[in-house]
Structure 1
């Protein structure tokens, strides 16, 4: 007899870490449909991704940025020298800025987008639309939404905002009002219709267009040292991507040049404005100097001051001389009246020649008269005649002297007036000089400032002219008809490989999560309890549970016969008659094994009785017809009936069956009392083998009580049903109850694989050949 040790310890083996091929095959076999579904789903998603994703095209260009500052040739030093990194980074920020892209929008016609409605996808009709839309909008309620246009075939059309908006009818080349937007739609006669089923257009807001440009534009450096960068633009329409990128490149060159010289331009503008202001001020000063010169007949007041002093002195001399002459004339006139005329040479030279001559003659007459007084009497004719001549000449000379004195008095008044005027000018000349000098000083300052600003302006202009933007387009925007996405081959490959990876992950997950017993190794790794045998799984139908009778040539029947043979090794002395069949939980096939094992023993001419000890759950599929369900083991143990009254015969001779009977309130106590042991002793006298179909020991303790009364206990594990923890539960039961007469059996093991029960030459009815081709090794 084979016995297990008293303290059986679980065996640890490196096989714990090895791959269990049988378990793997079982996992594949049980989940092959889900794996195929997963494969189809992932590849279907990849196909739908390729089929329903619009092609994305990329147009790119390469620019070389280099700022040559040639202003140093004029002696002007540059103020800032940016490193290469900062230069390219600044240019990239400029290209991707909203300010720059706003300029691109201002010079591009992107306000209206035209689309064709396809049977699968919608395509944008760039520069090739069936109609042209112009609009005037009071509000933007209809912007950024599709406006469908349905051509009625004539000059009329129907507009609809969105899919459920209100429809509006209009005519081509006429105004149509739609939600605050006045539309003017012209038909494109050159457009050729394809297989599209409709058209719509979108009125784009500026923010939407800026967002579109920002999302689609990419600028990145290619070589920092070479000052090269790459600009790319992505769009679903390759022509549109190329056109926009060409526009960006051209505007960037001009805009970048403006930005580079913005500071100089602002300085030049400021200097130019200041020069204009200074020119106006200098013109005012020049007008002042011109007027001053015209008014004062000079522009040198110091010299004029000297001239004025000299003129005043000359006038004083003239006054003095005229005053003396007038005094002398008065003296002469008084002398003539008194008859005492004495004329000096100085007086004669001061008088006009005619007057001087008359006075000389008058003087001579006076002398002759004096001489006549000595010779003649005053009453004589000669004396009177001389007196008459003297009177005549004196009257004439007096008149002449009077006239001359009046002339000299007039000249003296003129001289006094002129002197007074010169004296007044002499007093005002210092003020005029001061104002003139002040204005002249300001004029010279403005003149110097003007010249300085002119020089600065020239320097700024030279600097601006010397900053030559040597921006070269190394590679212009290219028109590519090869989409960059979706990469159909890659997506298909990813779907195909991903499906296999997902299948492997699923199989691995199911493999790891599968804690069921799948082979003999799962039992042998944990416990060293002897293995009685293996019963393969079968799809053959048995109406009363006696498989060995219904299918005597099946693999299951042969396996049960092998179990009967193996039990002989545990019955060397021939005294072991009680066989307990148990399991951890229900459904592991212990009742099937107990019933068919008893049938095989009965077929070998042994008298066998099967006791159903599961009084908590009576059997339904029985090999016999129980005439009175109220009789059974439970009634025998309470001495209500004898076992002879409860026994039922099966369709197989020498094989009897005692049902469990009605459900008692205390099944465990019934098995503990002496009636159960007495029952077994009585049965031993009548039968060769007593098979106990016990309750599951993992649920109730009734089975343990029955196993203690048995000579041999067969512990059933069902492949792909019993958990691996059930093997540990068996080990725990053995250690606690000190069992030494337990053997194990693996039930319902799949009939294929390395660990299967090897009866390959048996033909199993109902087996599907195509599954064998898939899973058979």
Structure 2
């Protein structure tokens, strides 16, 4: 278990603080559980209604059976996806249609002792809005039976009595109320009417539409409702409206397409009939049987003529090219190209003879010169044959030119015949072209009309229902266990938070950690709360507080271990912190150890020791300082113990600090050091006056008293300054009036301690748990 340390507020310290107020926690826990039970008793349970549909989605494989035929027609390309259908299901238009179908803007309630409970289904009356003003605000009516045949309807504008099945004109609209077979289970019912828009928005917030994951094309629908039957009916109506709207959208497109095709068919039929009538009139007027066949023959003849003319022109070009080649002087020693030979037997023979002679001449030149008689003879033969070739080519060219002229005349004659074809042939072709276009369009429209008609008759919804709306068997809210647990937790949290914040925000010292965290001065001891009197350290006292003063005595011996005559000054930040209580009991506990102790009441401003001990204070330090009393009359028995003596303050002087500065004060302390082992000086609060600092020069150790729950944390800065500037000798802190911690006894940082002796006169048989004390380093 976590122990409380000197570091401040720890879990164990907080737990101890809580345990001291266990009754406070128990009361709040009981209150929290009671509030939770009352909430569960009167809270309206909420149910979750669920449904599931499958959507056609080509990308996710959610095809609906029977869709293949429509896909083959490819008339309508209404592609949809699961994400689109989710948004449609969430749409306001669809929910508004459901609200209007089921008249969800009207709710019925029965008044109970604590709350109103909504009624649905088995109502003794049926209300139907014949006309409704959608700009209405929320309004309530009360209906109660009057006899057997009548009822009374009370509203914000008064009440009226009417017969069942009557039609009433209300500010919200026209309504008809009829009697049902169910009896009136309550004396009256409350009818609450809201606007369609408001009701639609409310149900949209209650509707949950989501896709389970991205790999499927199913949609899960959920609706939060207080009445399961009503929620199932709403969700089923929503799905039916969604599927019906999907089919209606497709039918609307099909009807629009068919109507458009019908209109176009009427126009195209009229145009096609007119074109065919024009063709008939044209042929009759021009006595034409088959215009296309006649035109074809003329075109074929013209083509043949042009073909022959082209062949003649090619031959003429070949002859002309060959003639130019032979006439060229640079070619007289070359053979005639065979690719240019004209297909004429005589000419072909001359060319072959000429080429052979050229080849033979070249062979002779390889072994003879050009002046060789054989070579000269061959040159003369070649010149003669060349002349024959040119003469033959000239005759051939003239024959070809005559043929070309003849072919041109034939082509001109055919062209003239084509030009003689009536110009109306072109008109006929234009009319025929229009007829073909109109006929193709007519057939296309007839085909699409049939496809549209077939598509309309086989239209299916974009989705199908997998699971109808069904409510969960148990409500999802309120969660009984969690509500009770929350009530219990809040019952603990409220007082715990209060106690924690009280400890955290406290400006006063609440634990030892508050001291150690705000000042470097070591804590010498802690003194517990003492409810039994002023003097607790008597010779036979075994109380926890007395034992703590004994621990203080032991710790003080370590602080003053190197000093024979020991003088201790005790001060505090302000009055009321218990420095007088600590001084008196410390002197008593030191006297019980066999030491001679003198207790000096040096708080000259507000002395209290003499009064609490019942001693005379007419003479004391103030009278000694001014020379009216000598030292023999100054020291008196304290009545606490035979070893304890007392010096009172005397009458309150007007100048306490000046008296402390006199030489007689130093003489007094020198005398006391010689006669006593311990001098305990109860001085004025150092946070208010400087008396303690003046007396500090006569002291060997200083005890700074702080009180639990009284001393401010900021006042610890005084002890820090005194410690850092060494204004007081061997300064230590005593924490006074420490309250009891549950299960710990007294003191911060003591642990459980050990079993100790009992007081003979106090609570015999009860085991006291005292604490161990770690002695701090004194200076």
Q: TM-score range by the shorter chain?
A: 0.5 to 0.7
Residue number among 182, 190, 198 corresponding to 1:190 in the alignment: 182
Query: Residue 101 of structure 2: which of 107, 117, 126 is its match?
Result: 107
Within 1, Cα distance between the matches of 2:767 and 2:544? 18
Verify: 1:214 aligned to 2:204, yes or no.
yes
- How is 1:459-498 mapped onto 2 (pairs within 5 angstroms)? 459-462=451-454, 468-469=460-461, 471-496=463-488
The superposition leaves residues 286-341 of structure 1 with CA deviations (integer Å, 9 ceiling, x where unpaired) of 9x98xx9xxxxx984874798xxxxxxxxxxxxxxxxxxxxxxxxxxxxxxxxxxx
Match of 2:13 among 23, 47, 69: 23
Q: How does 1:528-547 map to 2 (within 5 A)?
A: 529=522, 531=524, 533-540=525-532, 542=533, 545-547=534-536
SS, match of residue 623 in structure 1: helix
* Partners of 1:624 and 1:648 within 8 A in 2: no
Partner Cα distance (1:755, 1:145) in 2: 69
How far 1:245 moved relative to its partner? 1.0
**Matching residue of 1:129:** 123
The reply to whether residue 117 of structure 1 matches residue 136 of structure 2 is no
Q: What SS does the corresponding residue of 1:538 show, helix, strand or coil?
A: coil
CA distance 1:270–1:697, change in 2 (3 Å):
farther
Q: Secondary structure at the match of 2:96?
A: helix
Distance 1:495 1:240 in 2: 31
Distance in structure 1 (CA, Å) of the matches to 2:539 and 2:112: 66
Deviation, 1:710, is 1.8
Call closer, same or farther: CA 1:634–1:572 in 2, change over 3 Å. Answer: same
Q: Tell me which of 680, 691, 699 is aligned to 2:680.
A: 691
1:518 is matched with: 511
Q: CA deviation at 1:667?
A: 4.9
- Counterparts of 1:719-734 in structure 2, within 5 Å, are 730=719, 732-734=721-723
Q: CA deviation at 1:638?
A: 6.0
Change in 2 beyond 3 A, CA 1:662/1:147: farther
Whole-angstrom CA distance in 1 between matches of 2:122 and 2:237: 18
CA–CA distance in structure 1, aligned partners of residues 459 and 168 of structure 2:
52
Decide which of 216, 232, 246 is 1:242's aligned counterpart: 232
In structure 2, do the counterparts of structure 1 residues 54 and 616 end up closer, same or farther at CA, with 3 Å as the change threshold? farther
Equivalent pairs, count: 609
How far residue 239 of structure 1 moved from its aligned partner, in angstroms, is: 0.5
Question: Which residue of 702, 706, 722 maps to 1:713?
Answer: 702
Distance (Å, rounded) in 2 between the aligned partners of 1:478 and 1:610: 90
Deviations 1:98-156 (A, max 9, x none): 12223323432324211112233322211222333345678568642332335566766
Higher relative contact order (CA 8 A, sep 6+): 1
2: CA distance between counterparts of 1:70 and 1:239? Answer: 38
Asked whether the equivalents of residues 706 and 735 of structure 2 are also in contact (C-alpha less than 8 Å), the reply is: yes
Flag the 1:449–1:668 CA change in 2: closer, same or farther, 3 A: farther
> Does the CA-based 8 Å contact 1:116-1:124 persist in structure 2?
yes
Compared with structure 1, are the counterparts of its residues 465 and 181 closer, same or farther at alpha carbon in structure 2 (3 Å cutoff)? closer
Deviations 1:527-549 (A, max 9, x none): 68583x54333333x2xx22346
TM-superposition CA deviations, 1:630-661 (whole Å, max 9, x none): x8656765668878899897664765452475
In structure 2, the CA distance between the partners of 1:575 and 1:102, relative to structure 1 (3 Å rule), is: closer
Deviation at 1:662, TM superposition (A): 3.9
Aligned CA distance change for structure 1 residues 466 and 158 (closer, same or farther; 3 Å): closer
Give 1:95 shift: 0.7
User: 2: CA distance between counterparts of 1:146 and 1:550?
Assistant: 85
TM-superposition CA deviations, 1:552-584 (whole Å, max 9, x none): 443323443554566566667985253312234
The residue number in structure 1 matching 2:189 is: 199
Deviations 1:28-48 (A, max 9, x none): 345545544664565455445
681, 700, 704: which one aligns with 2:693: 704
- Give yes or no for contact 2:755–2:767 (8 Å, CA) kept in 1: no
Distance 1:127 1:749 in 2: 70
Q: Distance in 2 between matches of 1:167 and 1:739?
A: 89
Change in Cα spacing, 1:681 to 1:15, as seen in structure 2 (3 Å) is same
The match for 1:755 is 751
Which 5+ residue runs of structure 2 have no aligned equivalent?
57-62, 288-426, 745-749, 770-779
Map of 1:393-408 to 2, 5 A cutoff?
Answer: none
| 3-state SS, counterpart of residue 222 of structure 1 | coil
* Cα separation, partners in 2 of 1:721 and 1:771, compared to 1, 3 Å: farther
Q: Is the 8 A contact 1:598 1:608 kept in 2?
A: yes
1:452 and 2:444 correspond? yes
Q: TM-score, normalized by length of structure 2?
A: 0.63
* RMSD (CA atoms): 5.2
**Structure of greater Rg:** 1
- The CA distance in 1 between the partners of 2:768 and 2:49, in whole Å, is 56
Question: What secondary structure sits across from 2:200 in the alignment?
Answer: helix
Distance 1:260 1:44, change over 3 A: farther
Structure 2 CA distance for partners of 1:513 and 1:439, relative to 1, 3 Å? same
Change (3 A) 1:638 1:177: farther
Aligned partner of 2:262 in structure 1 is 272
Question: In 2, Cα distance between the equivalents of 1:251 and 1:518?
Answer: 72
8 Å contact kept, 2:25–2:492: no
Q: Does 1:613 align with 2:609?
A: no
Shifted more, 501-510 versus 484-493: the winner is 501-510
What is the aligned partner in structure 1 of residue 328 from structure 2?
none
Alpha carbons of structure 1 residues 150 and 646: separation in structure 2 relative to 1, 3 Å: farther
Contact 2:617 2:648 (C-alpha < 8 Å) held by counterparts = no
1:63-462 residue pairs with structure 2 within 5 A? Answer: 63-66=53-56, 67=63, 69-71=67-69, 74=72, 76=74, 79=77, 87-135=81-129, 143-150=137-144, 159-161=153-155, 165=156, 167-173=158-164, 174=166, 179=171, 184-191=176-183, 193=185, 199-260=189-250, 262-275=252-265, 300=281, 303=284, 449-462=441-454
CA deviation vs aligned residue, 1:32-91 (integer Å, no higher than 9, x gap): 455446645654554454344311111111111224543577564875755xxxx11100
Q: Which residue of 2 aligns with 1:351?
A: none
Q: SS of the counterpart of 1:477? A: strand
Task: Name the CA shift for 1:241/1:763 in 2 (closer, same or farther; >3 Å).
Answer: farther
